[in-house]
Structure 1
């Protein structure tokens, strides 16, 4: 891949995705079949996360599996880093709400100026699909979060944080969490795995529609990152990215996403380290960073590139411990041209600087 050559100065942007593995306050039951964290376990967990956040030192942190926004705030505080904007919609700790319920949420922490931020709990109309034994699936289990951010020198970028349905079998249960199926029956287990696959597939479809709306007919760079619960070459990831469409339709670049790993030109930095999860001894990349064509040096609309991609996964070999994470963290160093003064004065950079939910 040819190096990115810019006639204008380049600004850097570091982004990272972090699955925190059930980040919750102490003595707070988040799953009926799991013990709450003791005070000691909680302190170990937030300190471990703080150390990782400090190492990442990212301008934008996309986080998943957060039950309590207050716990994330504490980990960030312990890191010694300053993030003026932190949000985990649905996991707020207030007098009216005691964190997330039913499933953990995704969030974002950033140093950048936030122009807008919105959570998307519902699928676009008409996209819901029937799940065997469960009915129509028309809502994200973990609603994706879209933020519009402004860099120091005026460039505006959109960031989408996501966490798709896992491959864990979806067994039927009653409202109290009691099983309604024989989980030891291999045929029932296969059906439960199919439920998860369909749910993840329709969530990927809804994500694809959201990506199209964010990309089509605009030159605003987009970064999509999070826990996809599937590999880069999987059907669900490719459904979201639609990278393959570019091969036979150049116009599809306007609405396609590209894996940051594939845009990283230096193969020496990629060898044997690109995995973010280990399942039954097999490493895989589930935590991904996808970018729009504005980061592709081969695009005529390129305004930057992917300079570096790092996988922080050594802890995956230290044994299972819920005070750490069962996912590696992934960080990308992106570069963007400074916007020209005329565009900065008249373009999207002149928008209001106060975060307004639901506006872009």
Structure 2
């Protein structure tokens, strides 16, 4: 008789995050200072995205900078892969069912998934008490690009919470009038410093608001959570750590149950950790802005572990191909998670 225990069944869950750089239908004006895509540019862009999605071959893909859901559907279809759910939600349609109209003012967050979709929402308002005063802009109490929060379920019945995010960039926030004309001297270094401070305050406020949502989801659902997207800052920056609170675990092991962990940093020892782990190049310097964060269910040392991170890959070769708006200016990040046949008990 074989005395070796039978290992629990395992499955994999592959996730990816992709900033698409203004995916919009041909002829639609997304920013006043940029020409809309021509039909030829649109075809090149959606075909290029489709080719990248086919290479990623992920079960769940989070998208940033989606202006039109119809354009996202075209790009996903160009991959040749089957995704039963493709959607894009923003402030103007914050909740299912997703609309076919275009976003207004700022682009949406999007999702394509093979998993069963239980729910989807994109709420713009900050939690109560988190409004902040921004110099020259007044009270700030909403996400510019509302995080997309979905609940998915695997074939084995495991429910997974996923948030797709796109936080405020570091680009200086200069004041302008209703027609978009500058009302400040952008060449004045003192004005530029204040404009950069505005962006930092905006991103910090969004991160604090997102942190509140993360804690609420982890406490309420007791289900694994993945937060992925364009954080517009490094993994160990103050703003990213506002969301993840990973550093708190070093001082308090009990803090692990509401912390998020950078998937790249906790991937398995057998994973090939490349020295090309970056997702954006700013003025010649590589940066990691696009990240996948996971809750403790995928931490190898957690007693509530449901699996682990097998590997994380950065698809960034196109960043060396020159600037072209039919491609993305961000690399895409993919994480492969291994899930055991277990469910966390509250």
**Shorter chain as normaliser: what TM range?**
over 0.9
CA distance in 2 between partners of 1:243 and 1:191 (Å): 30
Provide the C-alpha distance between the structure 1 equivalents of 2:128 and 2:6, rounded to a whole number of angstroms.
42
Secondary structure, aligned partner of 1:40:
helix
Equivalent position SS for 1:88: strand
Q: Report what 1:126 is aligned to.
A: 129
**After superposition, where does 1:216-231 map in structure 2 within 5 Å?**
216=219, 218-231=221-234
Instruction: Indicate yes or no: 2:320 matched with 1:314.
Output: no
TM-score if structure 1 supplies the norm length? 0.90
Is there any run of 5+ residues in structure 2 with no aligned partner, and where?
Answer: none
Q: Which residue of 2 aligns with 1:272?
A: 275
Alignment CA distance shift 1:217-1:88 (3 Å): closer
Provide the TM-score with structure 2 as the length reference.
0.93
Is the Cα–Cα contact under 8 Å of residues 19 and 330 in structure 2 kept in the other structure? Answer: yes
Determine helix, strand or coil for the equivalent of 2:149: strand
> Once the 2 structures are TM-superposed, how far is the Cα of residue 265 of structure 1 from its aligned partner?
3.0
1:199 maps to what in 2?
A: 202
Say whether residues 1:179 and 2:182 are aligned partners: yes
> What aligned pairs does 1:337-352 form with structure 2 within 5 A after superposition?
337-339=340-342
1:40 aligns with 2:40: yes
Alignment coverage as a number of residue pairs: 337
CA distance in 1, matches of 2:177, 2:153: 46
- 1:356 alignment partner in structure 2: none
Distance 1:136 1:58 in 2: 39
Shift of 1:89: 1.1
Identify if the C-alpha distance between structure 1 residues 132 and 97 changes in structure 2 by more than 3 Å, giving closer, same or farther.
Answer: farther
Within a 5 Å distance, the mapping from 1:110-121 to structure 2 comes to 110-121=113-124
Aligned twin of 1:16? 16
The reply to whether residue 143 of structure 1 matches residue 146 of structure 2 is yes
Structure 2 counterpart of 1:54: 54
Residue-by-residue CA offset, 1:242-296 (whole Å, 9 max, x unaligned): 0111112111111000000111133761131200000011001000000000001
Distance 1:268-1:118 versus aligned 2 partners, 3 A rule: closer
Which residue of 253, 256, 263 maps to 1:253? Answer: 256
> 1:97 Cα deviation (Å)?
6.8
Are residues 335 and 268 of structure 1, via their aligned partners in 2, closer, same or farther at CA, if it must alter by over 3 Å? closer
Quote the Cα distance in structure 1 between the aligned partners of 2:337 and 2:196: 37
Q: Counterparts of 1:297 and 1:21 in 2: how far apart (Å)?
A: 34
The 1-side partners of 2:25 and 2:161 are apart by: 30
User: Displacement of 1:125 after TM fit?
Assistant: 0.9
Match in the other structure for 2:217: 214
User: Could you report, residue by residue, the CA deviation over 1:48-102 in whole angstroms, capped at 9, with x for unpaired residues?
Assistant: 000001111110010000011110000011111111111111387x9x8740111
Please say if 1:262 is aligned against 2:243: no
Residue 282 (1) aligns with residue 285 (2): yes
Cross-structure match for 2:74 = 74
User: What is the CA–CA distance in structure 1 between the aligned matches of 2:129 and 2:279, rounded to whole Å?
Assistant: 34
Contact 2:14 2:335 in 1 (8 A): yes
Closer/same/farther in 2, CA of residues 280 and 64 from structure 1, 3 Å limit: same
Asked if structure 1 preserves the Cα contact closer than 8 Å seen for 2:271 and 2:311, the reply is: no
Aligned position for 1:153: 156
Check whether the contact 1:50–1:75 (CA below 8 A) recurs between aligned residues. yes
Q: Which residue of 2 aligns with 1:242?
A: 245
Per-residue CA deviations over 1:125-164 (Å, capped at 9, x if unaligned) read 1101001000011000000011111001111111110000
Cα distance in 1 between the residues matched to 2:40 and 2:148: 31
- How big is the alpha-carbon RMSD for the aligned residues of Structure 1 and Structure 2? 2.0
Corresponding residue SS for 1:79: coil
Give the gaps of 5 or more residues in structure 1. Answer: 349-360
Cα deviation, 1:307-345, whole Å, max 9, x if unaligned, reads 0101000000011110000000000000111247xx9xx
Residues in 2 aligned to 1:176 and 1:267: alpha-carbon distance in whole angstroms: 54
Higher relative contact order (CA 8 A, sep 6+): 1
